[in-house]
Amino acid sequence: MKRRDFIKITAGGVAALALGSGLAPVFRRSEAYGAVGDATNFFLDIMEVEHEMVDGKLVYSWAYAVKESGVQVPSLPGPTLFVRQGSPVNVTLTNTMSDRPTGEAHGFAIFGKNGPIVQSAPLAAGQSTQFTIPGNLAPGTYMYEDWVNPPVGRVLGLHGVLVVMPAAPAGSPYELYPDTAPPVPGWTPYGILPNGHPVRELFNDLGQTAHFPGEPWLPSRQVIWVFSEVDPFFNELASTELIDAGDFQRNFLPQYFTVNGRSGYFSAEDHTHDTTHVHVDFNQPLSYILSGEMESALVGKVGQPILIRNVHVGLDTHSPHTHANHCYCVAVDGEVQDLNIDSNGFPVNGNPRNLGLWWWDTWTMLPGDRKDVLYPMMMPPDIPLETIERIRAGAWHPQLNPNGTQEYMVFDPNDTDGSSIEPLNVGHPPAAPTEFTHLAYPMHSHQEISQTAAGGNYPMGLIIHIMFTGLAPGV
């Protein structure tokens, strides 16, 4: 492979300047936050990068990049774009690659069930074009991808997620993080739905009923899970040759399985020790978060529900499986679940979208699938009732150990009010029986090979942590 000065995307998803340049990693921010883009002219580049796998292997890849102060900042997946419903976004797309095989081109597209919603012109190396993401898209989760020579560009890195957030009612704007309430009662990620709609009823119940104690769903409490795979052979081949799409699909043999471009420890671990959230201003026409800045882990207190936006950009089939809680499926491929049954008790038109809310701990993700599920953050059912009562009495105290690298929960079975908690042990795992880590559970795929990397390294594949850090008020 010809070694040019590519930007390296580390195993943790962070961009670092050119291989061999001797420069320190750049573009790493102290915490995830949403940079506000210029909705009148948002610049997006297509570029070559080297993507570090969980075992340290570097693979040639393609990526979308934003411009920050004139500097290209690649993101793999591409930057998650949060746009406000009703606000069109004008995009300038440039293919900044060079020395590419004759006939190779790339682009940008968003597809709906009836065809392309947005589709750029095909761009050869050095070319640029402009297009508009329309403001009439319904609230929900969309995938954007390279539409030229599909699915090669998408699988090799040119993909990302567009989230359309419903416009807040006049006089009731979104609160900035840490938000304490939705814009108005009855609010959902899809706006205000009709009375009796199952998704509306679910979100109405959160934090308001005995079966869902705690807090309502807050717009900042959402994560993106982008599933994909990497076959290093084709990544290497793409560095010098034009790949035949048919050959690519017939012979694709993945060795790495990723969530948000990461796997193993780098996808699973929460690196901020903070409640799951996105730092974006949903009142702005456009905000974005780079992949390396959005945590994949589900972190929060019992009673702090989290929306998971699942998108599958690869070629394999995955079956994400959550421990501790079942999830509610609230939208599939852009359609909000509804309850619409005929006189015989069958869904109207045989459409499973009319069967109401699905409650599952495992769901299937085929290539191109989009599924929004709500993880309710209910008290895990395997916790003994006696333990729950002691937790409610205050014997659960999340803290960071002195070096700030591991969050611990201190729990003394004889302590009912939390007054006799001793200092935390800095070791890991904890040395004393009265100290243990947060209540941690996994999300992993039931597609067994996806839990490995490089032909067998386990569990270095598609896995994510779910961490309960205490009890929300009222639980």
Question: Does 30 map to a domain?
Answer: yes
SS (H, E, C) the chain: CCCCCCEEECCCCCEECCCCCCCCECCCCCCCCCEECCCCCEEEEEEEEEEECCCCCEEEEEEEEEEECCEEEEECCCCEEEEECCCCEEEEEEECCCCCCCCCCECCEEEECCEEEEECCCECCCCEEEEEECCCCCCEEEEEECCCCCCHHHHCCCEEEEEEECCCCCCCCCCCCCCCCCCCCCCEECECCCCCCHHHHHHHHCCCECCECCCCCCCCCEEEEEEEEECHHHHHHHCCCCCCHHHHHHHCCCCEEEECCECCHHHHCCCCCCCCCCCCCCCCCEEEECHHHCCCCEEEEECCCEEEEEEECCCCCECEEECCCCEEEEEECCEECCECECCCCCEHHHCHHHECCEEECECCECCCCEEEEEECCCCCCCCCHHHHHHHHCCCCEEEECCCCCCEEEECCCCCCCCCCCCCCCCCCCCCCCCEEECEEEEEEECCHHHHCECCCECCCCCEEEEEEEEECCCC
What pLDDT, on the 0 to 100 scale, is given for residue 171? Answer: 87
Q: Read off the pLDDT of each residue in 329-335 and give the average, rounded to a whole number.
A: 94
Question: Does 289 map to a domain?
Answer: no
Query: Which tens digit of pLDDT belongs to each residue from 396-434?
Result: 555 544 444 444 455 555 554 544 444 433 344 444 444
Question: Does 444 map to a domain?
Answer: no
Question: Does 413 map to a domain?
Answer: no
Question: Does 144 map to a domain?
Answer: yes
Q: Read off the pLDDT of each residue in 253-268 and give the average, rounded to a whole number.
A: 89
Query: Which tens digit of pLDDT belongs to each residue from 160-174?
Result: 999 999 999 888 999
For tokens 């940008």, what's the residue?
108
Query: Which tens digit of pLDDT belongs to each residue from 49-71?
Result: 999 998 889 999 999 999 877 78
As a whole-number percent, the residues of the chain with pLDDT over 90 amount to 51
Poorest-confidence range of 27-36, 376-385, 466-475? 27-36
Confidence band of 347 (pLDDT split at 50, 70, 90): confident
What pLDDT, on the 0 to 100 scale, is given for residue 430? Answer: 42
Confidence band of 111 (pLDDT split at 50, 70, 90): very high
Query: Which tens digit of pLDDT belongs to each residue from 126-152?
Result: 999 999 999 999 999 999 999 999 999
Question: Does 126 map to a domain?
Answer: yes
Q: Quick check: pTM over 0.85?
A: yes
Confidence band of 315 (pLDDT split at 50, 70, 90): very high
> Which of 270, 269, 286, 287 is CA-nearest to residue 278?
287
What pLDDT, on the 0 to 100 scale, is given for residue 395? Answer: 54
What pLDDT, on the 0 to 100 scale, is given for residue 407? Answer: 47
More confidently predicted of 340 and 153: 153
Confidence band of 460 (pLDDT split at 50, 70, 90): confident
Quote the mean pLDDT of the chain. 82
CATH number of the domain encompassing residue 86: 2.60.40.420
- The sign one gets for the Cα dihedral 449, 223, 376, 382 is positive
As a whole-number percent, the residues of the chain with pLDDT over 70 amount to 80
Question: Does 103 map to a domain?
Answer: yes
> Can you tell me the distance from the alpha carbon of 274 to that of 298, in angstroms, rounded to the nearest whole number?
10
What pLDDT, on the 0 to 100 scale, is given for residue 234? Answer: 97
> Can you tell me the distance from the alpha carbon of 56 to that of 425, in angstroms, rounded to the nearest whole number?
32
The two three-digit tokens of residue 327, written as one number: 């999830």
Q: Say if residue 21's pLDDT is above 80.
A: no
Query: Which tens digit of pLDDT belongs to each residue from 278-290?
Result: 888 898 888 888 8
Confidence band of 29 (pLDDT split at 50, 70, 90): very low
Domain containing 90: what range? 7-166
Q: Read off the pLDDT of each residue in 182-195 and give the average, rounded to a whole number.
A: 91
What pLDDT, on the 0 to 100 scale, is given for residue 9? Answer: 72
What pLDDT, on the 0 to 100 scale, is given for residue 176? Answer: 87
Question: Does 129 map to a domain?
Answer: yes
Confidence band of 242 (pLDDT split at 50, 70, 90): very high
Structural domains counted in the chain: 1
